[in-house]
Amino acid sequence: MMFARARALLVWTFVIGLSIQCLAVIAAFNARAISTADLIDLLKRLLSIYSIHFAVILGAVFSKSGAIPKASQSEGDALLAFRVAFALSVLWNLMLIWRTLQFGEHAFNTQSSDRTDFLVSYLDAVSSASSFLVVAALAFFFGKQQ
């Protein structure tokens, strides 16, 4: 698999993950389930959570030097590395997406006892505890020259 395609799939994994979660929060706000302050807090939190990962991606994209030298590895090794990185990226995003979608559903279910501070606590705990799953893989794929 070409590195450009692998990079594109990894980027879209994070862009879609962040987008889905932001839309769920916005849906909750539009349904008047959360206040403006809650909306701002949640969106800032989501951006903060994703900032490290996007910093790795963007830093590598705009970097002219310091990239990892091309390794002498087979196509099979490269494909395996991509599959692992992609699977971990999807897993990391799903751990965050499901809870944010559940919170967004709260806007349409008046019987739910979900609250903004519950979601914030979850996002803080899970994102910080699980970032190790993807940061190294992102640095490898976006720091490596083709």
Measured distance CA(71)–CA(73) in Å, rounded: 6
Q: Give me the domains of the chain, ranges plus CATH numbers.
A: 3-143 (1.20.120)
CA distances in angstroms from 93 to 3, 52, 55, listed in the order given: 21, 14, 16
**Mean pLDDT of the 109-130 span:** 88
Give the model confidence (pLDDT) of 30-47 as tens digits: 888 998 889 999 999 999
Of the candidates 130, 42, 143, 120, the residue with the CA atom closest to the CA atom of residue 89: 130
Count the Cβ atoms, other than its own, within 10 Å of residue 10. Answer: 23
SS3 content of the chain, % helix, strand, coil (to 5): 80, 0, 20
- pLDDT recorded at residue 143: 79
Label residue 23 by pLDDT band (50, 70, 90).
very high
Tell me which of 130 and 79 has the higher pLDDT. 130
pLDDT for residue 18 is more than 80: yes
Radius of gyration (C-alpha) of the chain in whole angstroms: 17
SS3 59: helix
**Mean pLDDT of the 69-96 span:** 78
Query: Which pTM was predicted?
Result: 0.69
pLDDT for residue 51 is more than 60: yes
Least confident of 30-44, 50-64, 120-134: 50-64
Residue pair 11/85 in contact by the 8 Å Cβ criterion: no
